Amino acid sequence: MTIARDRLRVAVQKSGRLAETSLSLLRRAGLSFRASRDRLFLYGENLPIDVLLVRDDDIPGLLMEGSCELGIVGRNVLAEQRLTALPGTDAPAERLALGFGGCRLSLAVTDGGPITVPAQLDGLRIATSYPGLLADWLAVNGIRAEIVVLSGSVEIAPRLGKADAICDLVSSGATLAANQLHELVAILHSEAVLAASPHPLGSAKAEQVERLCARIEGAQSSDG
């Protein structure tokens, strides 16, 4: 059972690539905040909307359990959560694409190595932090590879002999290049999105969500 809460709660990354732009978007949408002493919350001063500052990986779970109505998170995190959620559970949905935090989840292989097309990954090992998205793409493409799940430093796995290829987030490609890797194919195009809890909302909150979305869209279109 969830305790009734009048104010809308939006989960935002506390620190990292999306943190600053997420908050500046909310500010441009007309919200103003004051931080709680422990820096966990930003309390909305002019609207009944509070921000919860968390690790991005926690955002889908907070939406699933209904602790937050909305969250700003990479599409990659949201899509991975959807693919790895228990069957029958409702996953958070993407409400708005936000146009920042752009990147792609790509398969990458060692420069000058024998692999030049994805089909050659059949029977090989691929290191990733996105086993759900990778397994899905491999199944669709009829490639049978072993997925090696790593929580970080995926790009060094080939050099350590832990994997033959990687599937990781890429933006400029500089990290890949620094590790003598290059992209083979992008399996997901990502950006920051506004995600919504799968829990049904009462009419007052549903209306607040609609108004906030409209404000965010307004802030985006005035970006130029």
Binding region for ligand ATP (CB under 6 A): 13, 16-18, 55-57, 74, 76-77, 101, 103, 169, 171, 190
Binding-site partner at residue 169 among ligand ATP, Zn ion, none, CB < 5 to 8 Å by type: ligand ATP
Angle subtended by helix axes 75-84 and 131-140, to nearest 10:
80
Give the Å distances, CA to CA, from 118 to 40, 125, 156, 159, 177: 43, 12, 20, 19, 19
Closer to Zn ion by Cβ: residue 31 or 73: 73
Closer to ligand ATP by Cβ: residue 56 or 164: 56
CB of 138 to ligand ATP, least distance (A): 21
What pairs with residue 106 in β-bridges?
168, 186
CB of 221 to ligand ATP, least distance (A): 22
Closer to ligand ATP by Cβ: residue 190 or 197: 190
Binding-site partner at residue 79 among ligand ATP, Zn ion, none, CB < 5 to 8 Å by type: none
CB of 153 to ligand ATP, least distance (A): 11
CB of 61 to ligand ATP, least distance (A): 12
Closer to ligand ATP by Cβ: residue 141 or 153: 153
Half-sphere exposure of residue 129: CA atoms within 13 angstroms, side-chain side: 13
H/E run at residue 188: strand 181-190
Q: Is the dihedral of CA 137, 110, 174, 127 positive or negative?
A: positive
Q: Of 4, 44, 1, 10, which Cα lies nearest the Cα of 202?
A: 4
